[in-house]
């Protein structure tokens, strides 16, 4: 049985606050949008764009940018911010790596983003399936760079190392919120476990870019946001995304407030001053929003940084 967030049953309804005028999705209807939709449907694939109600779906799909969500559409956790279905997942689709690789080829993606639901029911948390998907993409799309947005692999030992072994170009794991809100927002996760995962990725393979994302508007304080930035820098994270939490329904965690564009600009300036290679901070920023352009920028900055170090 699939249900949305069972922990919220019989709890008070949280009215959704009216969106300010600076939060507007780009409504684009084009042949490219429908082509992307056709490729996704024909391969029977799941995208986080659809499952998580991403506000940027029309803009991204009109550029043939889709973020694939592997291992099904049903998550074993029930985070209070997320609109993905919670329940008992179906068995893994062994053909999914081939379907994903084929879709990427048809969309001619230069940078592919692969994420997943949490699969706490699997002994490895899905790490081996991530490996198979990455390897198959590389086999069929040798010039495509690959970014993974993974679960935390909590209580799955060293299984995450299998993902690193496949050598994605970017290893992303979202910290999501400040530690003081974890019990309410991410009850099935642990803040310091997520930090440790990101730290270990960089420790094992310095050539893989690491990335993490933070939502604001959940009730956090500014000094807590700055502490998260410092924690991520201590874990040698390269790239930080900061976006506005948008409450999916009245049964999800209530929105505390909307940050204005200037506040996002200020957070970006602070994050860059702390040494992140790249920062994306805006109301509609999401993990995979403009990920291809961001990765290209990351590569340029790393080359520039390496050249500066060699000169000195």
| pLDDT-above-70 percentage for the chain | 88
Residues in the chain: 312
Band (pLDDT 50/70/90 cuts) for residue 267 is very high
Q: How confident is the model at residue 71 (pLDDT cuts 50, 70, 90)?
A: very high
The token pair that represents 62 in the structure block = 């009109």
Q: Which of 8, 66, 64 has the alpha carbon at shortest distance from 32?
A: 64
Interval 214-259: pLDDT, tens: 999 999 999 999 999 999 999 999 999 999 999 988 889 999 999 9
- pLDDT number for residue 38: 78
Which residue would you say has higher pLDDT here, 29 or 195?
195
Dist CA 281 CA 285 (whole Å):
6
- How confident is the model at residue 86, as a pLDDT? 92
Report the chain's mean pLDDT, rounded to a whole number.
Answer: 88
Which tens digits make up the pLDDT trace of 7-66?
A: 444 455 788 888 898 887 665 667 777 777 777 778 777 775 564 566 656 666 666 677
The single-letter DSSP state of residue 236 is T
C-beta of residue 89 within 8 angstroms of C-beta of residue 130: no
204-226, pLDDT tens digit by residue?
Answer: 999 999 999 999 999 999 999 99
pLDDT the model gives residue 9: 43
- Structure tokens belonging to residue 196: 């440790």
pLDDT at 30: 78
- pLDDT number for residue 107: 87
- According to the model, what pLDDT value does residue 97 have? 96
> Is domain 26-311 in CATH 3.20.20.70, yes or no?
yes
| Residue matched to tokens 């930090």 | 195
Bigger pLDDT: 83 vs 289: 83
Pairs from 282-286 (Cβ < 8 Å, separation ≥ 24): 282/242, 282/243, 283/22, 283/23, 283/243, 283/244, 283/258, 283/259, 284/23, 284/25, 284/55, 284/56, 284/243, 284/244, 285/241, 285/242, 285/243, 285/244, 286/54, 286/55, 286/56, 286/213, 286/241, 286/243
**What pLDDT, on a 0 to 100 scale, did the predictor assign at position 50?**
60
Measured CA distances, 43 to 39, 46, 101, 244, 312 (Å): 6, 9, 10, 32, 51
- Which residues, other chains included, contact 41 with Cβ-Cβ below 8 Å and sequence gap of 6+? none
Domain boundaries, the chain: 26-311
SS3 35: helix
* pLDDT given at position 306: 74
Classify each residue of 123-132 as buried b or exposed e, where b means 16 or more C-beta atoms within 10 Å of its C-beta.
ebbbbbbbbb
């Amino acid at each position: 049985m699939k249900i949305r967030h069972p922990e919220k049953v019989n709890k008070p309804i949280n009215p959704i606050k009216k969106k300010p005028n600076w939060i507007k999705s780009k409504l684009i209807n084009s042949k490219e949008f429908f082509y992307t939709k056709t490729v996704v449907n024909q391969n029977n694939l799941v995208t986080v764009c659809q499952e998580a109600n991403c506000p940027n779906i029309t803009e991204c799909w009109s550029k043939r940018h889709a973020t694939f969500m592997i291992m099904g559409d049903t998550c074993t956790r029930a985070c209070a911010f997320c609109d993905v279905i919670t329940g008992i997942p179906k068995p893994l689709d062994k053909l999914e790596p081939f379907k994903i690789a084929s879709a990427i080829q048809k969309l001619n993606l230069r940078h592919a983003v692969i994420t997943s639901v949490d699969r706490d029911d699997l002994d490895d948390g899905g790490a081996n399936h991530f490996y198979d998907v990455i390897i198959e993409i590389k086999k069929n799309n040798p010039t495509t760079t690959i970014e993974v947005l993974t679960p935390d692999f909590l209580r799955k030992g060293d299984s995450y190392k299998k993902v690193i072994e496949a050598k994605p170009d970017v290893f992303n794991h979202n910290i999501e919120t400040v530690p003081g809100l974890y019990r309410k927002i991410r009850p099935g996760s642990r803040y310091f476990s997520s930090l440790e995962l990101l730290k270990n990725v960089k420790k094992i393979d310095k050539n893989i870019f690491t990335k993490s994302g933070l939502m604001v508007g959940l009730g956090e304080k500014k000094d807590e946001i700055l502490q998260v930035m410092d924690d991520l820098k201590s874990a040698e994270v390269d790239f930080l995304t900061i976006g506005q939490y948008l409450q999916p329904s009245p049964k999800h965690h209530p929105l505390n407030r909307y940050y204005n564009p200037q506040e996002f600009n200020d957070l970006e300036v602070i994050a860059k001053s702390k040494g992140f290679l790249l920062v994306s901070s805006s109301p509609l920023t999401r993990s995979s929003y403009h990920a291809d352009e961001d990765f290209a920028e990351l590569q340029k900055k790393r080359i520039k940084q390496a050249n500066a170090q060699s000169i000195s």
